[in-house]
Structure formats: C-alpha cells, structure tokens
Structure 1
Amino acid sequence: MNNDLRGIYEFLQQEPTNQDSSLYLGKGLVINLNDPLHEILYQIYSYTLERDFPCFKTLKVKIRTFEPIDNSHLSIEQKRGFCRFLEEALCNVGQHATGVTRLVVTCSPSEGCYTVAVIDDGLGMNSSSEGQGTQQFRNLARQFKGKFRRVSLSPKGTLCELSCPVGKSWFW
C-alpha cells in the first residue's frame, strides 16, 4: 500500500499535460490513453490479473479477445471509462467469484457499438443488491448513451458487460 501511495504521489507531481492523457494503475504503472484502445485494455487486463486476489488463484482457463476499433471518435474520458470498467469488473471476479476456474474477457466492436464483457464461471451473485461499482457502471453507461448489464448465468457464473455506440454520433 505504501508503494502505491508513493506511486500516486509521484504521478501527481508530473506535468499536468501528462495527467490528461494518462491513467495511473498502481505500482508505478501509468497507461497512455492516447494509445489504441485495444492495447490499453490489454494492459489493464494483464495488470489486474497479476493482482493478489483470492479468486484469481483458482483460475485455470483465461480466454481474451481485444479487437481494435477506430480511435478517432473516442475521447480520453471515454477510453478512461472503458479502462475503469474493465479493471473493476476483473477486480470483482478476483474478490467475489468463489470457485472460478474460467474467465472470458472480450472487447470488440459489433453493430455500431463497442462492447467490453467479463464472464466467469464462479458461484455467481449471491445478492440482488447493487454495490457502488455497479452504480458507477450504470452511470457510465448513461454518460456513454450505452448499456450496462450484470447478470447471473446458469448453472453458475456472472456476466458483466458495458456496450456503447461508437462513431460520429457518440457525443461525450
């Protein structure tokens, strides 16, 4: 924790122009949000799965797809939103997906939308209550004029997905 706090302090000491297009993840890792979105999301995925969460220890199969899209219509804040969504969804798997052995992460364009989905085969949600993360995802979907869903899968598992329109009509 001390190293993370020091890393945040060092990051905040950088020039303000770097902060606008950067995302701090911890352990001194800073993501350049000017890079292509699929590359950024892969970095988030890799970094998050290295974190020491109890449920990540039981993972046996990890399937991932990060398809490129045209970044010209995406703002830095939109990219930041997708990154935070993916990080939080993966952290939820690591902390709450008891018995998870399989993780599928897809980030792909389809029918005018870009969708980030995280699917696990853990025990699933044991509560219908919404935490702060789910509320943030719903707000993010509203800002993006998109859709968020978090559902239990049968016979077990959870799907967490953010899908937003991309292109010239996608206003921020």
Structure 2
Amino acid sequence: MLQGDSVQELRELVERAGGGVTHDLPIINALGASVTAQQLEQIRSSPVISRLIDDLSMDMSEPLPPPDATACALGGALEAHLGSKTLEWAIHNLGEATDRLKSVKLSWPSGLGSELHAQLGEATLELSPATLDGEDRWQTTTDLADAEAGPQPGTRTQFSITFPA
C-alpha cells in the first residue's frame, strides 16, 4: 500500500515503474499496488510517498537477492500494537537456522512503574531490574541466556510487554 497527498501521483509512479494498481483507497489518499522487488526499490524513495506498507505475503516473480551470511536474520515488524498497558511487536526469522535474541534494551515512561513482564512467544524473559535514567524514564538492558526463545526459521513470534495495573 502506498499513501501520499495525491492518489493520481501515486498511480503514475507505480505505472512508470511497470507495476499495477490493484485498488484505490481515496478516503486515506492511498492505493494498493502489485510490484516486483526491483520495482519496489525503484519507487520506495519517491517524495510522492508519505507511507509505504510492504506486504511480504505477495507472490514475487523475481527471487530475492541472497541474504548476507554475516547479517542477523532476526527482524521486527514495521508497526507495534499498543494497548493501555501492553505493547506487542512481531519478530520474524528470515534465515534458515534458529536464531536467538542476545540482548534486550527497553526504556519506558516512569508513570508506568518500574515493573514489567516481557515475553517472546511463550517464553518469559528474565529482565534485569529497571533503573531511572535521569529523564524520568525507566530502563533496563539485559543480556539473554542462550536458552531464550527465538522464532524458528521462516516464522514469526510475538514480543510482548505488559505493565502491571
């Protein structure tokens, strides 16, 4: 999905790149488009686009370039889901091997309190005690044990934080 000030300019951008428009969303100044990975790279930096949501579930006719073997295969979703006392964020493993989180660094407003519960999938993360950072925020940095959970290759899992009521 591409969003901007002008649906017509977005349409022209997609069509110039050789992609196809799949649906119009005029209420939010957006459109859906079907583009290859190469076409997406061509249009993604255009100033016409104010927001881009990449749907990784699409069937791409061109193969992705091979991953960098030295790069971490774990990544996070573009958006997190916020509740009044919760945060949920999808973590995915694009690699071919099981990978684990090695550390977690968190910071949050002092008004939420110093205690929190963190999980990765079904595994509870044992976090170091939080400290105030001088800017009225709690923070913790925790090195995780090798046994901590991580998404299996080609899957995603939820990282969730809950603050006690």
Give the greater-gyration-radius structure (CA).
2
Please indicate the TM-score interval, normalised by the length of the shorter structure: under 0.3
Structure with the larger strand share: 2
**TM-score normalised by length of structure 2:** 0.26
The structure where helix makes up a greater share of residues is 1
**What is the TM-score of this pair, normalised by structure 1?**
0.25
